[in-house]
Amino acid sequence: MKAVILAAGRGKRLKCSRPKPLTLLLSRTLIDRVIDNLKKAGIDEIIVVYSDDRVKAELEGKAELVFNDDIGKGGGYSLLKGASAVGDEDFLLLMSDHIFDSESLVKLLSSKPNITTLCIDRNLKGHDSEDATRVLIDREGNVTSIGKELKEYNAIDTGIFYCTPDVTNITRDFAGKFSVTDVMGKLALKKKLKTFDITGDFWCDVDTREKLKEAEDILLNSLIKPTDGIISKHINRKISIKISKFLVNTHLTPNMISFISFLFGLFSAALFAMGQSIIAGIVAQISSILDGCDGEIARLKGLVSPSGAIFDAILDRYADMLIILGIIASNPQSLWLVGGLAMLGSYSISYTSSKAELRGITFTRLYEVLMNRDTRLFLIFLGGITGFLYAILVILALFTNLVAFLRIFYFSKRYE
C-alpha cells in the first residue's frame, strides 16, 4: 500500500528558519518521524509532496518526491499532486506536521476500511484549539460536516486518512485555492466519508512552539517502560529522561552511552575496593541512571537494535559483578561469602529473565521484578553512603536468590 505525506506547508507559526516538515522534535525531523511510523506499520511506498528544496534534499532516496509547483493553491492542490502519483488505488494520507503513534495506523489498516476514512479523536478538551479541524459525526460514524469554524461538533480531525480513489476523483473537480478539508467536506456531503476512532492514542498537530513542546514531553514520558522496576520508575527515569533530552542532540550512539555507563560502574567498583564507599555508592547510582539513557536515546533516535540491547545487557552484568567484587575487595575476609552469593543471585536474576524471554515470558509482577538491576544498584548506593556494606550484601544475597528460586520453581512446573 502507498502513503502520501503532504509536506508543502510553510509553518510560519513555528517561527523557525527551517521548512515546517524539517522542524526538529527531539533531534529528528517531524517528517522523518512520520515516515518511520509508516515503515513500522508496514508501509514502504511513500510519496512526499514538497515545495521547499531543502525537504527534497533531506528525503532524497527515502521517498518518492512530488513537487508542488504552486503552493498558493493550498493543501488540496498538494493532495491532488500526491493522489495523482498514487494512481487508481487506495492510499494513506498523512500530514508532515502531525505526529502520531504507529499503532494507530496498524489499527486503522486492520479495520479494512471500504470507503474513505478519517481518524478522529473524541477528546475535545485535549485537542481543540483555534487551529484544530472540527468534525461532526452521526451515530453510524459517518462525517456530517467538517471544518475549522464548526460550531456544533463532536470530534477532532487527527490528520490521518485512509483514502479510496474517490478522493483522487473529487480532488480533480476543484479549481483555485482549496484545502484538504474542502475535499473531505465534499466527500462528507456525498456520504462517502466515515471515521475511525483513535481517542486515547498519542497524536499531535505540531503547528506552534507550544505544541512542539507538548509533543516533546509526551515522547519523553513514553520512554518510561511498563517493565520498569520501582526505583527505575520513580527515581532513575525521571533523571535519565532529562539527561537523554540533552544527549539526543549529541552524536553519542546508544552503544557509546552503554559503554559510558559501564565505565561509571567500573569506577564505582574501583572506589569500593579503595574503601571510598560513599563516593562509590553515588557513582554506582549514577551508572544505574545512565544505564537508562542508552535505550532512551535508541528509541528517540529510531536506532533501537536487538544487538545493541544485548551489548548493553552484557556490559551491565559485568558492571554489576565488578561492583560487588569491589565491595568484597574492601574486606575480603568477611565479605567473600555473602558477596559471592550476591553475585550469584544478581546474575541469576538477569539470566532467568533472559531465559524467560526466550519463551516469550516477561516477568512483571512485583516480587518478580523486586530485585531487578535498578533496585540492586540502589541498595548498593544505600550501602555505600551508609557504610552498611555487609548488611546490604546479605540483603542482596538473600532476595536475589529467593527471586531466582521462585523463577526456577516456575520453570520446573511448566510443561510445553
> Which cell goes with 274?
579503595
The residue (of 3 and 329) whose beta carbon lies closer to a second copy is 329
Q: Are strands 155-163 and 134-137 parallel, antiparallel or unpaired?
A: antiparallel
Are the CB atoms for 49 and 75 separated by under 8 Å?
Answer: no
DSSP 8-state secondary structure symbol assigned to residue 232: I
The residue (of 253 and 276) whose beta carbon lies closer to a second copy is 253
Which residue do the cell numbers 575496593 mark?
273
Q: How many CA atoms lie within 13 A of 401 on its CB side?
A: 13
Are the CB atoms for 158 and 121 separated by under 8 Å?
Answer: yes
Residue 308 CB, nearest approach to a second copy (Å)? 8
DSSP, collapsed to helix, strand or coil, labels residue 134 as: strand
The residue (of 174 and 262) whose beta carbon lies closer to a second copy is 262
The residue (of 67 and 311) whose beta carbon lies closer to a second copy is 311
Residue 271 CB, nearest approach to a second copy (Å)? 17
The residue (of 60 and 416) whose beta carbon lies closer to a second copy is 416
Spell out the residues 6+ positions from residue 103 whose beta carbon is closer than 8 angstroms to its own: 201
Residue 40 CB, nearest approach to a second copy (Å)? 15
Spell out the residues 6+ positions from residue 222 whose beta carbon is closer than 8 angstroms to its own: 202
Are the CB atoms for 203 and 101 separated by under 8 Å?
Answer: yes
Residue 358 CB, nearest approach to a second copy (Å)? 6
Spell out the residues 6+ positions from residue 139 whose beta carbon is closer than 8 angstroms to its own: none
Residues that bind a second copy (CB under 8 A): 255, 305-308, 310-311, 313-315, 317-318, 321-322, 325, 328-329, 332-333, 336-337, 339-341, 343-344, 347-348, 350-352, 354-359, 404, 407-408, 411-412, 414-416
Residue 247 CB, nearest approach to a second copy (Å)? 19
Residue 313 CB, nearest approach to a second copy (Å)? 6
Residue 84, burial from CB neighbour count under 10 angstroms (0-12, 13-18, 19+): middle
The residue (of 57 and 337) whose beta carbon lies closer to a second copy is 337
